[in-house]
Structure formats: structure tokens, C-alpha cells
Amino acid sequence: MKYQASLPEHNDNISHEHPLKDFVLILAGLSAAIFAGYLALGWLVDVVVERMSPATEARLTQLVAWTPPPGDAALARHEAWAQALVDDLKACAGVSEPVTVRVRRSASPNAMVAPGGLVIVHSALFDSVRSENGMAFVLAHELSHLAHRDHLRAFGRGLVLVAAATLLTGDGSGTASVLLPAQHLGESSYSRGREAAADGKALGILQCHYGHAGGATEFFETLQREEGDEPALMHYLASHPSMGARIDALRAAIRQAGMKNGEVRRLPRF
């Protein structure tokens, strides 16, 4: 009888599954582990930031502080008015460190906070908001981010992303840019939570400063009329809650706290 070589029916060293299936399963498992680790480290960043002493916060803020951009002479009056309003709101916000306001020319009504106590206001915001109270809420929202140390949270989570990418491949910058879409998806819910928290604190600041909540929803109502609300799916991918959701949340908070919608002050002409 002629001998014919053959493989044994059962060999633990040989997989009968398609190699691509094994690759997909390994990749999915590794991705899940990385994502879980990122969330855990992000939670740890929040714990550290919450317990950080004011002195440590000041030192870290100096490390990541932005240099204020030069002022625009044509917007000097806008900037001086906004700076005075922010200075008045700081006590109610619980912010003791200096805050610098810069108004920059932009067609998009918005405002943002940057490390180092910098609040950047887009010039179009003065056209979208018609009352001092409405503008005060937007600025109070940015002060809330400072009070909640959200700039340090974002910085810490960014370091976690780069560190994870470097640990995996040795190239933190390149891999981090590839991971950014997935990181954005994972952070969307977290970011919406921070925005909602800033809205809630801004409402308290408005009540503290004016004695009522008039103007709290003005900016969001204007944007909703001009731009509409986001589709349901986009809300889950967005880093900010939809305009409708923010208006509803603020109105509910006003009712629950028994706040009044008092008369608002007209925004001055510049």
C-alpha cells in the first residue's frame, strides 16, 4: 500500500476559521480594550482635576495658557463692554483669577474659553443677542467652564490620547490623528454633559447677578430660528446638546428652582 501524507483531523495549531475573521475578532477585541482604557483614564483625569488644589491649577494653567490675540481697534468698545460685564459676573461665578476678554471679528455668533483665563467672543454675537442679560448668560457659560476646570479636563484627556497612541505604536502624533474620529465619538456624550453643566451654572450666575433668569434662553432661541435644530442622529454625534434640548433644559431648571423671568436690559449700541 502506497503511503499518502495527510493532515490530522484535529490540530490545535491550525485554525479552520477564515484568517480575515480571526483578524477582525482580534482587532475588535483590541479596540474595545483600548477604548475601555481610554474611558477609565479619562475618568481618572476628572478625579484628579476635581481634587486639584488652586495652586496646582494655577501652575498647570500657566503651562497651557494661550497668549491673548491682539485687540481689534474697531471692536474696542465691544471688548471693553464685554470685559466689564465679565468682571461683574466673576463673583457670582466663583472665579477669582483674572479673566481677559477678546472680541474678534467673525460671522459666526459664538464664544469660547481658552486656557489662561481667556474668553474669546465672536463679533457676530453682538448681532444675535439683543439684551445685556442674553449676552451675560453666554459669558457666564464660558466662566462656568473656567470654574469647572474644563480646560484642564480637555488638556488631560488630550494627553491620555497621545500617550495611548505612543504606547501602541511609538508615534503619538500620527496615530492620535487617526484615532481622533473615534475619540470624538466617545467624547461626544461626555462633552454634552459638560456643556449642560455649564448651562446650569450659568443660569445660577444670571440669577445671582440680576435677581432673575430673564435672557437665559435668548441666544439658543435665536440660533434655533436661524439654523434650526440638528437631526436626531447628529445630536448623538455632536459635542454640544441641540438648541431645543438646551432651551427645554433651561426652562425646566427655571421652573424647578422657582426663578422668575424678569425684564431684560437692552444691549447698548456700539
The letter for the amino acid at 65 is A
**Averaged confidence pLDDT in the chain:** 80
Percent of the chain beyond pLDDT 90? 41
**Per-residue confidence at 179, pLDDT binned at 50, 70, 90?**
very low
DSSP state of 131: B
pTM above 0.85, yes or no: no
**pLDDT digits over 182-227, tens only?**
444 445 666 788 889 999 999 999 999 999 999 999 999 998 887 6
**Per-residue confidence at 236, pLDDT binned at 50, 70, 90?**
very low
pLDDT of residue 7: 57
Inter-residue contact 268 to 77 (CB < 8 Å): no
pLDDT of residue 233: 38
Least confident range from 48-62, 80-94, 143-157: namely 48-62
Residue 79 φ then ψ, to 5°: -65, -45
Dihedral sign, Cα of residue 40, residue 46, residue 50, residue 56: positive
Average pLDDT for 5-31: 66
Q: Which residue has the cell 455649564?
A: 198
Residue 111 φ then ψ, to 5°: -150, 155
- 131 against 57, higher pLDDT: 131
**Per-residue confidence at 15, pLDDT binned at 50, 70, 90?**
low
pLDDT of residue 223: 86
Average pLDDT for 24-45: 74
- Residue ranges in the chain assigned as alpha helix (H): 19-51, 54-64, 76-93, 125-128, 132-147, 150-169, 172-210, 218-227, 232-237, 243-257
**Per-residue confidence at 235, pLDDT binned at 50, 70, 90?**
very low
pLDDT of residue 149: 86
Residues in the chain: 270
* Joined grid coordinates for residue 254: 427655571
Percent of the chain beyond pLDDT 70? 74
pLDDT of residue 25: 78
- 89 against 23, higher pLDDT: 89
Cα 120 from Cα 103, distance rounded (Å) = 6
